[in-house]
Amino acid sequence: MNTGVIVFPGSNCDRDVAVALARAAGRPPVMVWHKETALPPLDLIVVPGGFSFGDYLRAGAIAAHSPVIRAVKDRAATGVPVLGICNGFQVLTECGLLPGVLMRNRDLRFICRDVDLRVDNAAWRFTAGYREGQVVRMPIAHNEGNYFADDATLDRLEGEGQVLFRYCTAEGVVNDAGNPNGSQRNIAGIINASRTVLGMMPHPERVADPDLGGTDGIAFFAGLMTALQ
C-alpha cells in the first residue's frame, strides 16, 4: 500500500497522519512537498490538517492553487482516492474536488474538543471500518468548519448517499445540540459523486492510538486500508 501526504507550508498535522498511516499500512507514507508538479505512484493521497499558507486569504484558498494540487486533481480524475482532513477538507472544497465551502464556526471561535459523529453511510471504502448508524468519537480542531452549500447541493449530497459523517449527540441524534459549528444539516464529512474523494473536519489520526484518549480512528484507517487492497 503506497500512501502519500501532501505537505504545504503551514501544514501541521502531516506528521500525525503519517504516524497513523504508517501504523495502518505497515509502512510510512511518502511526504510530498507543495512545489512538486508530479506525484509518485500512490494508492491513497492525504491532504492533512493545519494552516496551509497561514490560511491568510481564506482557509485552504492559497493551497488550492499550489502546483501539487494540479497533480492531485489529475490523479483524482483517474480514480486514485483522496482524503482531506480539516484543512485538507478546506483545500479540497477550494480546489473544486468537493462541493460547498467551510465557513467560520457559528460562535466565531476556534473549537477543539471531541465530538460524536454518526456514520451515515458505511457502503464506501472510506467508512469500511464502521457500520451504518454507528456513533464514533473524534476530535475537531478548527475555526472554519461550518459546512455550507445551497439546498440543491445538500439535497443531492443526501440523495446520493454522499454524506458519510454527521455531527450528533452521544446518543446518535442529529440535532442542533449535537452540532458544534453550525454546519448545514450537521455535515462533518462528504464524498464526491464518484466516491473517490473524502473531506472531513474531524481528525481520525488523533484517536488512532489508545494512549491518546480514543481509538475510533484505528478502525477508520484499518478499514480504509483493507478496502483499498
Partner 1 sequence: MTQITPALIAEHGLSEDEYARILAMLGRPPSLTELGVFSVMWSEHCSYKSSKRWLKLLPTKAPWVLCGPGENAGVIDIGDGQAIIFKMESHNHPSFIEPYQGAATGVGGILRDVFTMGARPIANLNALRFGAADHPKTRHLLAGVVAGIGGYGNCVGVPTVGGECGFDAGYNTNILVNAMTVGLADAGRIFYSAAAGPGSPIVYVGSKTGRDGIHGATMASAEFSEEAEAKRPTVQIGDPFTEKLLIEACLELMATDAIVAIQDMGAAGLTSSSFEMAAKGKVGIALDLDRVPTRETGMTAYEIMLSESQERMLMVLKPEREALARAIFEKWDLDFAVIGTITDGDRYVARYQGSVVIDLPVAPLASAAPEYDRPQAPLPAPAVIPAAAIAPAHDPLAALQQLMGSPDLASRRWIWEQYDHMVMADTVQRPGGDAAVVRVHGTAKGVALACDCTPRYCEAEPVTGGRQAVAETWRNLTAVGARPLAITNCLNFGNPEKPEIMAQFAGCLTGMRDACEALAFPVVSGNVSLYNETNGVAIPPTPTIGGVGLIEDLAHTASLALKAAGQALILIGGQEGPGWLGQSLYARQIAGLNDGAPPPVDLAHERRSGDFVRALIQEGRVATCHDIADGGLLVAVAEMALAGNMGLSLTLEGIAEANRHAWLFGEDQGRYVIACPATEAAAVIALSQRAGVAACVIGRTGGSELTLEGLGAISLAGLRDVHEGWMPGLMAAPATEA
Q: Which residues are catalytic?
A: 86, 203, 205
8 Å CB contact between 108 and 96: no
Q: Does residue 19 interact with partner 1 by CB under 8 A?
A: yes
Considering only 23-31, 125-133, 146-154, 209-217, which stretch makes contact with partner 1 by CB under 8 A? 209-217
Q: Kindly tell me which of 16 and 120 has the beta carbon lying closer to partner 1.
A: 16
Indicate the SS3 state at residue 146.
strand
Burial of 150 (0-12, 13-18, 19+ CB in 10 A): exposed
Q: Does residue 112 interact with partner 1 by CB under 8 A?
A: yes
Least distance in angstroms from the C-beta of 42 to partner 1: 22
Number of neighbouring beta carbons within 10 Å of residue 221? 22
Q: Kindly tell me which of 99 and 214 has the beta carbon lying closer to partner 1.
A: 214
Size, binding site for partner 1 by CB under 8 A:
31
Considering only 64-72, 138-146, 154-162, 194-202, which stretch makes contact with partner 1 by CB under 8 A? 138-146
CA distance 199 to 206: 16
CA distance 100 to 228: 26
Which residue, among 98, 103, 91, has the nearest Cα to 63 in the 3D structure?
A: 91
- Judged by CB under 8 A, the residue of 94, 116, 144, 205 near partner 1 is 205
Q: Does residue 209 interact with partner 1 by CB under 8 A?
A: yes
Q: Does residue 213 interact with partner 1 by CB under 8 A?
A: yes
Q: Kindly tell me which of 6 and 20 has the beta carbon lying closer to partner 1.
A: 20
Which residue, among 54, 57, 58, 70, has the nearest Cα to 12 in the 3D structure?
A: 54
Q: Does residue 50 interact with partner 1 by CB under 8 A?
A: yes
CA distance 94 to 58: 9
Least distance in angstroms from the C-beta of 16 to partner 1: 4
Q: Does residue 139 interact with partner 1 by CB under 8 A?
A: yes
8 Å CB contact between 163 and 157: yes
Footprint on this chain of partner 1 (rule: CB under 8 A): 9-10, 12-13, 15-16, 19-20, 49-51, 53-56, 109-113, 139, 141, 143, 203, 205-206, 208-209, 211-213
